[in-house]
């Protein structure tokens, strides 16, 4: 690994470069047309955003994973995303766990989540970006940037060993594990963990402070967005015997284990900053309680016609939270699409459907509700749960 430049930013950092944990090479397939990089977002993880996220379901990874993936092991409870690990057998594996992954791919920028890992030997809790032979991120090779808590890294003195890693067009050989000693028990409370990925390298952050940096080097390059964009993923899983020397031996404790995530975000672009946490939006206003008040309860966008058109569905309710039929909904389009339906009427369920014009233009499409009108009713925009929505086309 000579020539690789690793720079510690805090003196308390301990660096360990170990051998490969995952044996074998990944064979690349012929890549399809590369995707577009997704835009910035913050997800407060109150519920699944199906446009942005999917849950791993119905398959296994093979060694060193000792589990299968099931969608029902990703749950939302009390404003948190919870990943469950239990002893349910799945597809020949003795355990089942969950993984939450973006549908789209991301380029250079910042990636961060606030979470509490599982402090049990043999369990890995993570935030990472990834693209491989079965992902259309670009070149079809294994590219990855990791933040991983290993179950054997929780020490008796209340400190926690956190591991970073990266893989660049990987097809076998050594990997780049980096161990950082945190001065707290990471499982006791939520903390922020993230990294900034740029063309110059990778910088990892804990609670908004840079703790380690890897500079790109021809002898040991960091991943390049021009080679492959990457999906953002959250998961927790048990290792099998082949990786017990890395993460510890896993012994199921007799009841389900839970990793908890408060929020996750991506800030697109090399100039991003993780110095400050995201600002949580205020809670939505309650219904006004007035039957003749009107507000927007929801806007849902979807891309149809092979990517040429966007459909928007707007739900209008009264002050009691009941859908209202016959409301004239005025709206506007901007971004990659600037024309389409601008006036529609709600149906018997209070739903109005809008269609954009068809175009091959790509980029972010923004749809906003401008006005609601119905005789005898009053539009209360301050009561809207959503006034605009956006989707990547």
What is the helix (H) or strand (E) element at residue 149, kind and residue range?
strand 142-154
Measured in degrees and rounded to the nearest 5, phi and psi for residue 220 equal: -150, 75
Q: Is 345 a catalytic residue?
A: no
Distance CA 362, CA 271 (A): 23
Which of the following is catalytic: 38, 144, 213, 262?
144
The owner of tokens 């790109």 is 216
Which of the following is catalytic: 148, 177, 213, 262?
148
Distance CA 166, CA 339 (A): 43
Distance CA 376, CA 381 (A): 16
Two tokens, residue 335: 């971004």
Distance CA 149, CA 239 (A): 12
What is the largest distance, in Å, between two alpha-carbon atoms of the chain? 76
Q: How far from 126 is each of 118, 147, 344, 378, 380, CA to CA, in Å? A: 10, 6, 45, 48, 43
Distance CA 265, CA 110 (A): 8
Q: Is 209 a catalytic residue?
A: no
Closest CA to 80 of 112, 54, 43, 37: 43
Two tokens, residue 188: 């006791």
Distance CA 232, CA 237 (A): 16
β-bridge partners, 299: 314
Which are the catalytic amino acids?
A: 144, 148
């Amino acid at each position: 690994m000579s020539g690789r430049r690793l720079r510690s930013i805090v003196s308390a950092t301990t660096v360990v470069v170990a051998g490969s944990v995952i044996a074998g090479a990944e064979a690349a397939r012929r890549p399809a047309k590369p995707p577009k990089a997704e835009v910035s977002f913050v997800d407060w993880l109150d519920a699944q955003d199906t446009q942005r996220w999917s849950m791993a379901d119905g398959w296994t990874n093979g060694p060193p994973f000792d589990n299968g993936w099931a969608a029902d092991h990703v749950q939302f409870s009390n404003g948190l995303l919870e990943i469950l690990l239990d002893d349910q057998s799945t597809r020949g594996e003795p355990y089942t766990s969950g993984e939450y992954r973006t549908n789209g791919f991301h380029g250079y920028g910042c990636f961060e989540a606030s979470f509490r890992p599982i402090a049990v030997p043999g369990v890995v809790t993570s935030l990472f970006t990834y693209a491989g032979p079965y992902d259309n991120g670009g070149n079809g090779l294994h590219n990855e940037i990791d933040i991983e808590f290993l179950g054997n890294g929780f020490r008796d003195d209340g400190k926690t060993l956190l591991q970073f890693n990266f893989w660049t067009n990987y097809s076998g050989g050594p990997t780049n594990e980096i161990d950082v000693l945190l001065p707290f028990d990471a499982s006791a409370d939520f903390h922020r963990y993230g990294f900034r990925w740029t063309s110059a390298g990778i910088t990892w952050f804990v609670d908004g402070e840079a703790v380690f940096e890897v500079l790109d080097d021809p002898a040991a390059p960091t991943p390049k967005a021009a080679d492959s964009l990457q999906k953002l993923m959250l998961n927790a899983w048990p290792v099998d015997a082949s990786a017990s020397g890395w993460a510890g031996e896993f012994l199921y404790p007799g009841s389900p284990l839970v990793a908890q995530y408060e929020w996750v975000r991506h800030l697109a672009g090399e100039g991003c900053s993780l110095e400050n946490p995201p600002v949580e939006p205020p809670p939505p206003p309650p219904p006004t309680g007035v039957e003749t008040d009107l507000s927007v309860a929801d806007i849902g966008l979807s891309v149809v016609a092979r990517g040429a058109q966007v459909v928007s569905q707007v739900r209008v309710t009264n002050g009691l939270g009941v859908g209202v039929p016959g409301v004239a909904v005025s709206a506007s389009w901007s971004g990659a699409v600037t024309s389409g339906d601008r006036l529609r009427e709600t149906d018997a369920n209070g739903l109005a459907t809008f269609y954009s014009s068809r175009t091959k233009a790509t980029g972010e499409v923004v749809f906003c509700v401008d006005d609601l009108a119905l005789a005898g009713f009053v539009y209360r925009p301050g009561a809207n749960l959503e006034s605009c929505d956006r989707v990547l086309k």
